Structure 1
Amino acid sequence: MTDTATANATTPDPDVVDALRALANPMRLQMLLWLRDPIRNFAGMETIADPLEVGVCVSHIQAKAGLAQSTVSAYMAELQRAGLVRATRVGKWTHYKRDEQRIAQFVAALGQTL
């Protein structure tokens, strides 16, 4: 095995590193967990779009988290960059939904990495 091949075999996948970095923050992890069951976790909040199809409005995530809107937006943007959530604009509001396919790929890649 060449030095390059050895380095590639032991270098973590950058996508796995990005996802782990995003999940290292307890509140970002909590938000991702809330989005797993948006009907239950955001019950009683008036929606303008189907939370299962489109996702949860950032204002609802903010209300549940008790954080500033800018902080929640930054946290959700980090999860989006890591490929764990998808954002959809509905009017002037941004909705977030888990990307289950990418999460499954991350879990599989993590299993192979470790």
Structure 2
Amino acid sequence: MERRTAMDPLAVHKALANPARLRFMEWLKEPEKYFDEASYRQQGLGFHIGVCVGDIQKRSGLAQSVVSGYLQTLKDAGLLASERIGKWTYYRRNEAVIAEFAAHVRDAL
């Protein structure tokens, strides 16, 4: 499991400033609404591990390299966690950092 020592508000602001990255965060908030959960169940997986990069790429219509870069930006800002299973990488929201950022906005701005 990945841990961050401190949330960087500027990195989070920058990561969320891109409309596609913001959309990814929205999709990952409710993956069952945007992705086919049955295909995950067939593999013995669930959305608790995250959503596969390939599924995010298909939904977005963006090139795989662009999607991977955007996901890495969100991960670097602490907003996402990832898990590699075999050759696939799954991304999920890091709710602790999201809550910390929300508290920062509430208290500092």
Q: Is the aligned partner of 1:90 residue 2:78?
A: no
1:50 to 46, 49, 53: 46
Q: TM-score, normalised by structure 2?
A: 0.86
**1:84–1:103 Cα contact (<8 Å) kept:** yes
Is residue 7–residue 97 contact of structure 2 (8 Å, CA) maintained in 1?
Answer: no
Match for residue 28 of structure 2 among 29, 35, 41: 35
From 37, 54, 61, the counterpart of 2:56: 61
Aligned to 2:98: 103
Q: CA deviation at 1:39?
A: 1.0
Q: How many residues align?
A: 101
Determine what percentage of the aligned residue pairs are the same residue.
43
Runs of 4+ displaced beyond 6 Å: none
Deviation at 1:65, TM superposition (A): 0.2
**CA RMSD across the alignment:** 1.7
Q: Could you tell me how far apart the structure 2 residues matched to 1:33 and 1:87 are?
A: 16
Distance in 2 between the 1:89 and 1:44 partners? 18
Equivalent residues of 1:45, 1:60 under 8 A apart: no
What SS does structure 1 have at the residue aligned with 2:78? coil
Structure 2 match to 1:18: 11
Note the alpha carbon deviations across 1:9-54, whole angstroms, 9 max, x for none. xxxx970100000000000000000000111110367224211x20
Q: Which segments of 5 or more consecutive residues in structure 2 lack a partner in the other structure?
A: 1-5
Residues 19 and 83, structure 1, Cα contact 8 Å, conserved in 2: yes
